[in-house]
Structure 1
Amino acid sequence: MITEATLVSGREPILAATDWHPYARHSIKPDTDATGLHSAGTTVWTSSGSPSGYALGDPRRAVELFTTSAMFRSADWLHLPRVTDPAVLDGLRVSQRDEWDFLWTAEQPPQQPDEDLVVPLTDADHPAMTALIDASFPTSTARPGDPRIRGWYGIWSGDRLVACGADRTHGDVGFLAGLVVSDRDRGRGLGATLTSAMTRRMFERYDRVALGVWTHNERVTRLYQRLGYTGRVGRTSVRLSAGSPESVGSAGSAGCAG
């Protein structure tokens, strides 16, 4: 049971509580009304109107903070530090669980061949993007028309789109999403070229650039690390079924001391 937690209200105090961690910077938009709790090195937070709760620190303490505070009553996604003990999720009605890693870099990537082939894509290219994603990365959550996406980049081979990726920046850390290469064109270094070129463009606006990768995909993780994405924090994201958990918000505040 949480005996003491400090209320942190506003983006800047939440970032300060997490020591300005790139994941926290990514998750909260500038000028957004955000609220959280901090307890014994663990910080949890949510933004106004968001269906998600976010956390850094200890996963068990994060779940306790989430489930004892009314501010997270409407959260249907909890983005937790990596959960290795199944008992941490006891009492949560989890309908989906994703294990992934948040990677980031503070350095320009090493130059890759043919970066000049990476070009911005437009609405007119949506059919080509959809066809490529459906064929080569059907589980991707980055899709043309998604309002969270600020822009797309791709590589063409003649009239055929062979690679594409999205700028899904949310906070003040550049964020790459939905990077995909055509199955028939893999092994040509196009993934490295696309990632490097997009990262370089992101650094024109941001001092950190990040992306997410499934934890089991170590081959792709090694590629990103080779391109400079050496910052890494494990994440466990859980989707809660309707009415879950029963205790979220039911116990009032978590004994706030500030």
Structure 2
Amino acid sequence: MQVTTFSPRTASLFTQDLELQPGSALLRFGAARPRPAGRFDWSGDGAVAWLDEPRGHVWSVGEPAAAAGLMLRAAHQLPGKIRGFTGPRGVDALLGRHLAVTDPVAWAFRWTLDEPPLHPGEEQVRELGEADHSELRAFLGKHSPAHSTGPGSSDVSRWAAIRGPSGRLVACGALSTLRDSGAPLLASVATDAALRGQGLGAALTSWLTRHAVRRQGLCTLWQLADNTPADRLYTRLGYRDEDPCVAARISTC
């Protein structure tokens, strides 16, 4: 089994050893090391932050007050360029004292280093190619309109699906990447609305997780904090739940 390893740490995000602490997996797996050329990042006082410049999105890990301070510094240093953030729970309220913070959503960043137990139905999963993209777009548009990524995205390394007896798609999902580090990220898992509750999404999630762990040594995903069925599934598949986050927008008006 070939496993991709991440490069040794360098300054500046990795000088406080935050990546070794509980609740900091987003730093450990999500921030590239060594530092990519041109990346804006900030560090100090028990927190770190780094910028996904194309999206104008700041990621942060650490103690909430310190994280809020770093994100405020980023907003002042790069006026008009910071449009959103993800950070430790509570940072939205702290940052909201100084900036126009809107639409906060609680998330959990979850991860696993282990292959899940074999799930019934995994034998039905097949990889999809570019010829299937139109079908995928139509399926996601109907059964998961708010999907996080779509066919043709440069971040996606693999699409997989389950087809029903008639050959039509009944479930699909992708392995995308965390933009800064390239670590595998489970994305856009969707099931036919009429067939939910039959384990199709679970089988697909298990298959994609196994694929990522075998090739890159880990798999990550984002879960809405109040999604109880997803929480049970991901826990059953071995995903750790130690990294509560909040994401929100920043109005630049």
TM-score above 0.5:
yes
Q: Look up the match of 1:4.
A: none
> Aligned in 2, Cα 1:219/1:61: closer, same or farther, shift over 3 Å?
same
**What letter corresponds to residue 108 of structure 2 in structure 1?**
D
**Structure 2 residue runs without a partner (length 5+):** 1-7
Among candidates 90, 114, 138, match of residue 121 of structure 2: 114
8 A contact 1:76–1:239 mirrored in 2: yes
Rounded to whole Å, the distance in 2 between the matches of 1:28 and 1:105 is 17
Distance 1:90 1:36, change over 3 A: same
In the aligned structure 2, how far is the partner of 1:182 from the partner of 1:47?
33
**Change over 3 Å in CA distance of 1:236–1:85 after alignment to 2:** closer
Assess if the C-alpha contact under 8 Å between 2:25 and 2:243 holds in 1: no
Give the drift of 1:228: 0.3
Pairing 1:196–2:206 present: yes
Alpha-carbon contact 1:22-1:208 (below 8 Å) kept: no
Matched, 1:168 2:176: yes
Shift of 1:165: 0.8
**For residue 3 of structure 2, what is the aligned residue in structure 1?**
none
1:3 counterpart residue number:
none
13-22 vs 164-173, greater mean Cα deviation: 13-22
Counterparts of 1:30 and 1:205, CA distance in 2: 19
Q: In structure 2, what is the Cα distance between the partners aligned to 1:232 and 1:124?
A: 39
Match of 2:221?
A: 211
Moved more, 59-68 or 21-30: 21-30
Q: Is the CA contact 2:92–2:246 (under 8 Å) kept in the aligned structure 1?
A: no
Q: What's the TM-score, normalizing by structure 1? A: 0.81
Q: Partner amino acid for 1:159? A: G
Q: Please report how far the alpha carbon of residue 236 of structure 1 lies from its aligned counterpart in structure 2 after TM superposition.
A: 0.9
Q: Which residue of 2 aligns with 1:250?
A: none
Cα distance 1:218–1:123, how it changes in 2: closer, same or farther (>3 A)?
same
Query: Residue 45 and residue 71 in structure 1: after superposition, are their counterparts in 2 closer, same or farther (change >3 A)?
Result: farther
Please list, as runs of the form range in 1=range in 2, the aligned pairs for 1:49-64 lying within 5 A after superposition: 51-64=56-69
Could you tell me which of 234, 237, 243 is aligned with 1:224?
234
Within-5 A mapping of 1:1-258: 12-13=10-11, 14-17=13-16, 18-19=18-19, 21-29=24-32, 32-33=36-37, 34-46=39-51, 51-69=56-74, 71-73=77-79, 74-83=81-90, 86-157=93-164, 158-170=166-178, 171-243=181-253
Q: How far has the Cα of 1:15 moved from its partner? A: 3.8
Q: What's the TM-score once normalised by structure 2's chain length?
A: 0.82
Task: State the SS of the aligned residue for 1:19.
Answer: helix
Distance 1:46 1:86, change over 3 A: closer
Q: What code does the residue aligned with 1:76 have?
A: R
